[in-house]
Amino acid sequence: MSLLQIRDLKVHFPVSRGGLFRSEKRLVRAVDGVDLEVFPGETLGLVGESGCGKSTLARAIVQLIEPTAGEIFIEGRPLAGISPSKLKTERKQFQMVFQNPFSSLNPRLTVADIIAEPLKALTNMNKKQRWNRVQELMELMNLNPKFLLRYPHEFSGGQRQRINIARALAVSPKLVVLDEPVSALDVSIQAQIINLLQDLQKKMNLAYLFIAHDLSVVKTLSHRVAVMYLGKVVEVAKTENLYHSPQHPYTKALLSAVPIPDPKKERERRRIPLSGEIPSPIDLPKGCSFHPRCPVAEGICRRDPPVLEEKVGGQQASCHLVPQDLTVETGRGG
């Protein structure tokens, strides 16, 4: 059974036009009908250009933003419409690590207080129990428990991100949503944090939804990868399949821009240029939203929106021109 299931999730923000049209309300379709699953112990990478809706999706999953429509299930239990006390119980199952290790920690709190925040909010632990748990987490993060009474500014960027991870793991969640957790860090520190995340996943059977724009980082950590474009998932596949034989033209273009460490292969790499700007999520193109930039678009693409479905090769993609796998009945899995 999936740990997290998202069905047709939408997050739309109303905005008003300026000037004479101020009263006219329009919608930013930040997330526009996303279906995804995350299984226990796996990492699902979520990639896409900035502004594609991945961070909004993450915030909707952890209930920091109320979805406009759609459903979120944790171990089959719906999150919508449940009582605040039940939501408090469910919140222990999913936690989030934010991108910026500098701004995501309250500078006025000690590290002990920061890590204890979710324990205070979501458990009945007394002070002594919280203190013991915080010490345990410091050791798990390879941080010296003697530093518990220090403040965030006394730590390096990598250490702060370890504190963020400790806070997320305090209540022993099953799913951690990681929103660009290493993009603000130096490359050598990035590798340390990725190794730490991999070790923690093995020890605690954690599932990650790992959001990043760096496709090399996503490849290292993810079992499956979902690609987002303008609020929609356009391809989902096992990592090796996606990187070796991408199906969707947008995935192909993204991957063609990733440098290859082998100098010979790097010289031979053919980049697929994407023409034009990303369309506005307020005014999405008719048909396939990728058609104004797609190098292989045809007439049908400007007319009918494609659906995410199982294609030949086993991955899911939403593209009229990728042949469908007619041997399967559903578009789920991957």
- Judged by the rule CB under 6 A, the positions of this chain that interact with ligand SF4 are 248-249, 288, 290-291, 294, 296-297, 301, 306, 319-321
Residue 7 CB, nearest approach to ligand SF4 (Å): 23
The 3-state DSSP composition of the chain as helix, strand, coil percent (nearest 5) reads: 35, 20, 45
133 vs 170: CA distance, rounded Å = 7
Q: Which is nearer to ligand SF4, 78 or 295 (CB)?
A: 295
Q: How far is the CB of 249 from ligand SF4 (least distance, A)?
A: 5
Smaller CB distance to ligand SF4: residue 118 or 249? 249
Question: Whole-angstrom Cα distance, residue 45 to residue 66?
Answer: 23
CA 178 – CA 97 distance, rounded (Å):
5
CB of 219 or CB of 248, closer to ligand SF4: 248
CA 296 to chain centre: 28
Tell the smallest beta-carbon distance from residue 296 to ligand SF4 (Å): 5
The SS3 of residue 185 is coil
> How far is Cα of residue 156 from the mean position of the Cα atoms in its chain?
25
Distance CA 309, CA 26 (A): 30
* Nearer CB in complex with ligand SF4: 59/232: 232
Sign of CA dihedral 255, 261, 263, 265: negative
Residue type, 55: S
Closer residue to ligand SF4, CB minimum distance, 160 or 291: 291
Question: Between residues 249 and 281, which has the closer beta carbon with respect to ligand SF4?
Answer: 249
Q: How many residues does the chain have?
A: 334
Q: How far is the CB of 286 from ligand SF4 (least distance, A)?
A: 11
